[in-house]
Amino acid sequence: MKTILYATDYSKNSVAALQYAHKMSEQLETRLVIAHVFEYPTILGMEGLDKPFPHQEKDAFKHHRSKLEEFCTEHMGTAWQMPNIQLEAVKNKSVLNGIIATADEWHAYLIIVGVKGESGLREVIMGSTTKQLIEKAPCPIMAIPPDASYNPIKTIVYGTDFEHEDIYAIRKLVEMADQFNADVKVVHITTKKDLAKGNKMEAFKNMLLQKVEYEHMEFVHLVSQNIFNALKKYLREVEADLVVLLERTKRGVFKKWFHRDLVKKMESYGNIPLLSFRGSNHQIFYFKKAL
């Protein structure tokens, strides 16, 4: 059985992500691991000792497991007691390392987190933990805005910069899209001064179609002096349910979109979840249901 990992800090902004992860795991018939990472207690004042006493460790796990159960009961009712849902209280000095270790242990193919902080989408891209997860996790990261609600995914927008990494990422993405019978919009946006690059769309499309077969895939080239506004308008027009970006080894146009100033503006584009691939781990992203 495939596994979705959801990580929480019990914050208000992580509630929507929990409910989203639960509904998504139900529809895809996957296991859902709900995890909270806590820093384990140490023996203070004793240099060189960084392990807790046995009873401290046992009490810490008991406390955090109980807190995790309370959080899930409040926001899921008794659904967390279903056989395909596992609760994990994880001890680690680093939240980042704890999440990654749990993802490795369960062979997770997707990690779902909430958007933290009052700065909205900026924290997805610029926030320390989520940004590092995107860069280091063994699987893709899906960040859920605090006002998002789960609906079966029907329209997915993928931002391309015409690189080979895009082809492999899209190939894995359509496996997910196929489970939802969703449309995939492969979009590239150029400014007028970079208009010549738009001519690459047809070549990229031909190359991609040699490697990816999916009947509900469309290629879109937009021209605008304001890339942010063009994206925002397009997402509204197609009623996008998911935005997908690739963390690239090279700096491309789509990566430039998300420098700090533009990301602050993106806060206003609403409640659309963001799925982030990393170029070096797209090959392990599988959404096919287990037989």
Joined together, the tokens standing for residue 124 give: 């997805």
> What per-residue confidence (pLDDT) applies to 54?
59
3-state secondary structure of 125: helix
Question: Do 30 and 73 have their domain in common?
Answer: yes
Intervals of the chain under pLDDT 70: 40-55, 116-131, 193-199, 248-270, 279-291
The beta-carbon contacts of 195-198 under 8 Å, at least 24 apart in sequence, are 195/223, 197/162, 197/253, 198/223
Residue 252 lies in a domain: yes
Q: How do residues 178-201 score in pLDDT, each as one tens digit?
A: 999 999 999 988 877 666 655 678
Question: Do 59 and 162 have their domain in common?
Answer: no
72 and 87 Cβ atoms separated by less than 8 Å: yes
Domain count within the chain: 2
Q: Sort strands 141-144 and 274-278 into parallel, antiparallel or unpaired.
A: antiparallel
Question: Do 186 and 255 have their domain in common?
Answer: yes
- Which of 93, 117, 144 is the C-terminal boundary of a domain? 144
Residue 132's domain is classified under what CATH number?
3.40.50.620
Q: Domain containing 245: what range?
A: 155-284
Residue reference for tokens 């990566």:
255
Question: Do 9 and 140 have their domain in common?
Answer: yes
Question: Do 137 and 181 have their domain in common?
Answer: no
Residue 289 lies in a domain: no
3-state secondary structure of 126: helix
Question: Do 101 and 172 have their domain in common?
Answer: no
> What per-residue confidence (pLDDT) applies to 216?
96
Question: Do 174 and 84 have their domain in common?
Answer: no
> What per-residue confidence (pLDDT) applies to 225?
83
